[in-house]
Amino acid sequence: MTTLPTGLLFAHPDFDPGESGLLCAPSGRLELVSGSALVRQSLLMLLSTLPGERVMRPDYGCELLTLAFAQNDDTTAGLAVHYVRRAIERFEPRVRILAVTTSRRPDTPYRLDISCSYVPRFGGDQQTLTVGLPLDGPHQEA
């Protein structure tokens, strides 16, 4: 019988509402996570880490956050897809990417939603992870 790897459960302050940081069980022990939840957690960490932020792994991360001051246009959307796909393919071998897409909503013009559909390689159902990237507003021309 094969057991899945486990990791410490944490709530990401940018993506998980409510608590943030490592989570404890009612018994006081740190909670563990495994399977699809561990992969989701790892993807969130990857997408929210800029290359150079990790001292011992300077190449680890995703350049997605470098787009924070870009305009919400097709070029930015294309770069976001490229950065997310490249980071996941390079640093997360536990998933097979099915699609990376972007969407804009009229009610939030300064936000680009990036969705990644994937299947865990160890088995399981298709998952979709969506992150919102806050962007700069339209520039006023002089």
How does pLDDT run across 2-28, given as a tens digit for each residue?
Answer: 566 788 887 777 777 677 788 888 888
User: pLDDT (tens digit, 9 = 90+) per residue, 25-74?
Assistant: 888 888 888 888 899 999 999 999 999 999 999 999 999 999 998 999 99
User: pLDDT (tens digit, 9 = 90+) per residue, 40-49?
Assistant: 999 999 999 9
Query: Both tokens of residue 109?
Result: 């013009």
Q: How many CB atoms lie within 10 A of CB 76?
A: 19
Note the pLDDT of residue 140. 42
Note the pLDDT of residue 57. 94
C-alpha atoms less than 13 angstroms from C-alpha of 18 in its C-beta half-sphere: 6
Are the CB atoms for 44 and 7 separated by under 8 Å? no
Which domains are present in the chain?
31-134 (3.10.450.40)
In the chain, which residue ranges form alpha helices assigned H by DSSP?
35-47, 74-91
In the chain, % of residues over pLDDT 70:
89
